[in-house]
């Protein structure tokens, strides 16, 4: 098969790769579409110890079962593979499973990813494509599940109803835009402000949200002004902004993984009882609810997704790296 292979820092090669071999309890999927995630970019930059080249990246995926018990079915994959036996899995918080692995990772267990013509995945991670969801759009299910989980987690921390809260979303990439769309269109939240420095991407957010979308330096973003803040970037600078702008008693939901450490105003967090929660993925229930949301068009028509040929995937990564890409999400088509 052909695959887009991560071969070194900022290096991707479209080349021949061994076909996956079928094993018991798993199926081979002929990939229809696969999305580029922020974590794929971290690997591309050589900053993810879980993804070591050579490796096929990619975990946001849809396709058709090529070999397996449900051959021919159109499907979307939940790429988060868990053990099913630990205390977290038993209690339906399987996203915290200490043995969890993801498609497109090779530490601690190798799982080749989805930037390829075919991918192998456990049958338990396969969901039939619901009516109303286009197979080429379906890879957006994974980041939507991440966003839905973050929103639900954030809402559970609030000290007053969401419709009485001021919300700030930092970052207009796929996760930021999806958080804002879920808050706005699913949770009926009216007071949302999204900040994004990339003017092209900011315009895309403006085109798809009723909420106010502004540059991070906008005067509407004031100290101690927001009941809940979603940091979907995860840089030291955005964490500093979040703690500065959150109200006393407010919450910061930290989703981004860009920088793992840095200074932070723990004094304000302590004195003003600020809740800080990190979140990375989602439960199976979140993923199932996401498919329901997407199939019913609850977050809009998804016209902000951009599609590229898998063979030109290296150029798409370079555009994201250079900040010249306006689309919050690029999906690759084999």
Q: Does 37 map to a domain?
A: yes
For 150, the enclosing helix (H) or strand (E) is helix 141-157
Same structural domain, 133 and 177: no
**pLDDT band, residue 221 (cuts 50/70/90):** very high
Q: What is the pLDDT of residue 144?
A: 98
- Other C-beta atoms lying within 10 Å of the C-beta of residue 226: 24
Strands 167-170 and 226-231 come out as: parallel
Measured CA to CA, the distance from residue 84 to residue 101 in angstroms comes to 12
Same structural domain, 45 and 96: yes
Write the burial class of residue 42 (CB in 10 Å: 0-12 exposed, 13-18 middle, 19+ buried).
Answer: middle
Q: What is the pLDDT of residue 159?
A: 94
Q: How many domains does the chain have?
A: 2
Same structural domain, 19 and 128: yes
Q: Does 198 map to a domain?
A: yes
**Token representation of residue 23:** 């094993």
Same structural domain, 77 and 22: yes
Q: Does 283 map to a domain?
A: no
122: domain CATH number?
A: 3.90.180.10
Mean pLDDT value of segment 101-125: 96
Measured CA to CA, the distance from residue 273 to residue 268 in angstroms comes to 8
Does residue 313 carry a pLDDT above 90? yes
Q: Does 190 map to a domain?
A: yes
State pLDDT tens for residues 131-145: 999 999 999 999 999
User: Which one of 263, 278, 293 terminates a domain?
Assistant: 278
Q: Does 49 map to a domain?
A: yes
What share of the chain in percent tops pLDDT 70? 100
Same structural domain, 7 and 24: yes
User: Which one of 278, 294, 315 terminates a domain?
Assistant: 278
Same structural domain, 72 and 158: no
Q: Which domain holds residue 319?
A: 2-137+302-333
Partnered with residue 253 across adjacent β-strands are 230, 277
Mean pLDDT value of segment 264-278: 97
Same structural domain, 88 and 185: no
Q: Does 292 map to a domain?
A: no
Q: What is the pLDDT of residue 117?
A: 98
**pLDDT band, residue 256 (cuts 50/70/90):** confident
Q: Does 297 map to a domain?
A: no
CA distances (Å), origin 239, targets 233, 244, 321 = 9, 9, 21
Torsion angles phi and psi, residue 126, rounded to 5: -100, 130
Mean pLDDT value of segment 268-294: 97
State the residue for tokens 């690029």. Answer: 330
Same structural domain, 55 and 85: yes
Strands 26-35 and 329-333 come out as: antiparallel
Q: Does 294 map to a domain?
A: no
Measured CA to CA, the distance from residue 121 to residue 93 in angstroms comes to 21
User: CA triplet 317, 109, 287: central angle to 5 degrees?
Assistant: 65
State pLDDT tens for residues 186-203: 999 999 999 999 999 999
Same structural domain, 159 and 98: no
Same structural domain, 121 and 7: yes
State pLDDT tens for residues 226-236: 999 999 999 99
Does residue 214 carry a pLDDT above 90? yes
Q: Which of 54-58, 106-110, 214-218, 233-237 has the lowest mean pLDDT?
A: 106-110
CB 332 within 8 A of CB 34: yes
Average pLDDT, the chain: 97
DSSP, collapsed to helix, strand or coil, labels residue 134 as: coil
Q: What is the pLDDT of residue 257?
A: 85
State pLDDT tens for residues 14-71: 999 999 999 999 999 999 999 999 999 999 999 999 999 999 999 999 999 999 989 9
247: domain CATH number?
A: 3.40.50.720
State pLDDT tens for residues 175-188: 999 999 999 999 99
């Amino acid at each position: 098969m052909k695959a887009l292979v991560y071969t070194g820092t900022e290096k991707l090669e479209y080349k021949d790769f061994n076909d996956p071999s079928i094993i018991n309890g798993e199926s081979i999927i002929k990939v229809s579409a696969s999305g580029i995630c922020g974590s794929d970019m971290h690997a591309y930059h050589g900053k993810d110890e879980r993804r070591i080249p050579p490796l096929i990246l990619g975990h946001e995926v849809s396709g058709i079962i090529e070999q397996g018990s449900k051959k021919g079915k159109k499907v979307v994959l939940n790429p988060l593979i868990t053990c099913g036996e630990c205390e977290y899995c038993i209690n339906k918080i399987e996203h915290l499973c200490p043995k969890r692995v993801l498609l497109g990772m090779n530490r601690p267990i190798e799982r080749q990813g989805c930037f390829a013509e075919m991918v192998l995945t456990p049958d338990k991670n396969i969901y039939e494509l619901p009516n109303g969801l286009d197979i080429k759009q379906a890879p957006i299910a994974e980041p939507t599940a991440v966003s839905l989980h973050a929103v639900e987690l954030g809402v559970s921390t609030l000290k007053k109803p969401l419709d009485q809260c001021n919300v700030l979303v930092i970052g207009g990439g796929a996760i930021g835009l999806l958080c804002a769309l879920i808050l706005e269109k699913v949770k009926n939240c009216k007071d949302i402000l999204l900040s994004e420095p990339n003017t092209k991407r900011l315009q895309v957010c403006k085109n798809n949200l009723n909420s106010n979308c502004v540059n991070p330096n906008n005067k509407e973003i004031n100290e101690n002004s927001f009941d809940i803040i979603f940091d979907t970037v995860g840089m030291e600078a955005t964490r500093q902004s979040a703690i500065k702008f959150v109200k006393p008693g407010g919450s910061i939901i930290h989703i981004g993984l860009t920088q793992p450490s840095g200074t932070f105003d723990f004094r304000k967090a302590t004195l003003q009882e600020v809740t800080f929660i990190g979140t990375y993925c989602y439960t199976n229930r979140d993923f199932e609810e996401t498919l329901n949301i997407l199939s019913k068009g609850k977050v809009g028509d998804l016209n902000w997704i951009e599609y590229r040929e898998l063979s030109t995937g290296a150029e798409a990564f370079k555009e994201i790296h250079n900040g010249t890409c306006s689309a919050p999400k690029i999906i690759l088509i084999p």
